[in-house]
Amino acid sequence: MKVEFWSKEKIAAFQEIKLKETLNYVNENSAFYKRQFKDFDLNSINALTDLQKLPFTTKEDLQQYNSDFLCVPLNKVVDYATTSGTSGTPVSFALTDSDLERIGYNEAESLKCSGIEKGDVVQLMTTIDRQFMAGLAYFLGLRKLGATVIRVGAGIPELQWDAILRYKPAYLITVPSFLIKMIDYAENVGIDYKNCGIKGAVCIGEPLRQQDFSPNNITSRILSRWDLKLYSTYASTEMSTAFAECSAMQGGHHLPELIIVEIIDENGNLITDGSPGELVVTTLGVEAMPLVRFKTGDIVQAHEEECTCGRTTLRLGPVIGRKQQMIKYKGTTLYPPAMNNLLNGFDQIQNHLIEISTNELGTDEITLYLAVQSPTDEFLTQIRDHFRAKLRVSPRIEFLPLEVLNEKVFLPKSRKPRQFIDLR
């Protein structure tokens, strides 16, 4: 029986052995953790709850002491992925041959969890180059799974449809909002997309569901036009591990052989009552750059009940937001994804940018820059009322021509669109 179906006690016992191996390994091989652990008796760390005795690793640590995390000689590094650091400068993430194997295993298991099988044809609509880990991970995972990969990469609906009609994939791997562009294009040129053989899509980068797992606005808009199975997946370069949804679509399943999960409150204490908090991870089985108690900065809610698919593993709900992007607005606390979700509910909005600044009174001010087909005062009022009703905030709204807004959102040197600016 696979580890995901074991009892919680058996999984914990298994992780405790792996944790000891990891702690000894980093203490011997990483200059950073040698310093970090010099005053700790690692032999006193036995149960998973003992982890709380150890200090956190932060994104700032990873940025400031990047090369001190490396546990292997440089000639064992096969690939460098990058991830954006806190100050915007990229952080390098080294991977050995064994790490690429681990990532392939991780993604094969995750895709299996979402129902993809050996022999399935899968179209990869994410970037595989530019030092992105995700695209590479999907390729390695699909290869390990015995599936066929069509590497079209990101964007260009016409190219995507050419490949779909030629190779007949059953699944797509994509950012969910791009599916709307795919449907628009298909309708414009008369492609019978509903009967093209695609069963589902594995969606990355944007949430698909609300906290109760009901569809969010982007998902509802896709499903109202195209009957697809949409599976959410959440991962990051630092974690080198994914949390993928099964057919129950009740949050991403934890792979206990690859990562230890903690959820902490604002004071760094473990949350045990299931309320949302910051995700902290300890990677297992990583050779080049393992991380111990790494604070991801992502606010999530963990679900512990056994899933209808039979897996006993913890599930993570949609990311509520990034901790440092928290907005305090007249007694309300909110995160950009909740605002993205509201804006995604309006068909007329072609693109948007959220800007947070501090006003003269020292409180947070929200400005929405919107590109819409026909900017009217009525529409502006409609959006503002919607924000007031749903999120209890009243943003300043400014319409911009689409070309002007696109220049602010799609920066030439950035791999992802930037729809949030923090001026605080």
> Nearer to Zn ion by C-beta: 317 or 336?
317
Side chain identity at residue 403, one-letter code: E
Site for Zn ion contains 309 (CB under 5 A): yes
- Locate 347 and state its tokens: 């068909």
Q: What ranges in 50-132 are assigned the alpha helix state H? A: 59-64, 97-113
State the Cα torsion 90-206-396-365 to the nearest 10°. -50
> Nearer to Zn ion by C-beta: 64 or 211?
211
> Nearer to Zn ion by C-beta: 71 or 259?
259
Shortest distance, CB of residue 225 to Zn ion, whole angstroms? Answer: 27
> Nearer to Zn ion by C-beta: 5 or 25?
5
Residues touching Zn ion, count (CB under 5 A): 5
Sketch the per residue contact string, 259 through 288, with Zn ion: x for CB under 5 A, - otherwise: ------------------------------
Binding part of the chain for Zn ion, among 189-197, 243-251, 335-343, 361-369 by CB under 5 A, reads: 243-251
Residue 185 contacts residue 196 (beta carbons within 8 Å): no
Residue 86 contacts residue 59 (beta carbons within 8 Å): yes
d(CA 33, CA 48): 18
Binding part of the chain for Zn ion, among 214-222, 247-255, 266-274, 298-306 by CB under 5 A, reads: 247-255
Binding part of the chain for Zn ion, among 59-67, 128-136, 145-153, 301-309 by CB under 5 A, reads: 301-309
Three-state secondary structure readout of 18-53: HHHHHHHHHHHHCHHHHHHCCCCCHHHCCCHHHHHH
Q: Which helix (H) or strand (E) holds 90?
A: strand 90-96
- Locate 310 and state its tokens: 């039979």
Site for Zn ion contains 314 (CB under 5 A): no
d(CA 349, CA 149): 33
> Nearer to Zn ion by C-beta: 59 or 253?
253
Q: Which candidate, 419, 424, 382, 379, places its Cα nearest to that of 399?
A: 379
Site for Zn ion contains 249 (CB under 5 A): no
Please report how the helices 336-344 and 217-225 are oriented relative to each other, as an axis angle in degrees rounded to 10.
Answer: 30
Out of 45, 81, 152, 246, which residue is the one contacting Zn ion (CB under 5 A)?
246
Binding part of the chain for Zn ion, among 204-212, 259-267, 309-317, 367-375 by CB under 5 A, reads: 309-317
Q: Which helix (H) or strand (E) holds 91?
A: strand 90-96
Side chain identity at residue 386, one-letter code: H
Site for Zn ion contains 307 (CB under 5 A): yes
> Nearer to Zn ion by C-beta: 251 or 395?
251
Site for Zn ion contains 244 (CB under 5 A): no
Binding part of the chain for Zn ion, among 149-157, 233-241, 280-288, 304-312 by CB under 5 A, reads: 304-312
Shortest distance, CB of residue 344 to Zn ion, whole angstroms? Answer: 26
Alpha carbon separation from 233 to 3, 149, 151, 374 (Å, rounded): 19, 18, 19, 35
d(CA 49, CA 130): 38
> Nearer to Zn ion by C-beta: 19 or 111?
111
Shortest distance, CB of residue 366 to Zn ion, whole angstroms? Answer: 36
Sketch the per residue contact string, 66 through 95, with Zn ion: x for CB under 5 A, - otherwise: ------------------------------
Q: What ranges in 192-296 are assigned the alpha helix state H? A: 217-225
Binding part of the chain for Zn ion, among 61-69, 87-95, 307-315, 350-358 by CB under 5 A, reads: 307-315
Shortest distance, CB of residue 231 to Zn ion, whole angstroms? Answer: 11
d(CA 314, CA 303): 6
227 sits in the region (left: phi over 0; alpha: psi -120 to 50; else beta) called beta
> Nearer to Zn ion by C-beta: 257 or 355?
257
Shortest distance, CB of residue 304 to Zn ion, whole angstroms? Answer: 13
Cα Rg of the chain, angstroms: 22
| Number of Cβ atoms within 10 Å of the Cβ of 390 | 13
Binding part of the chain for Zn ion, among 78-86, 286-294, 310-318, 378-386 by CB under 5 A, reads: 310-318
Site for Zn ion contains 248 (CB under 5 A): yes
Residue ranges in contact with Zn ion by CB under 5 A: 246, 248, 307, 309, 311
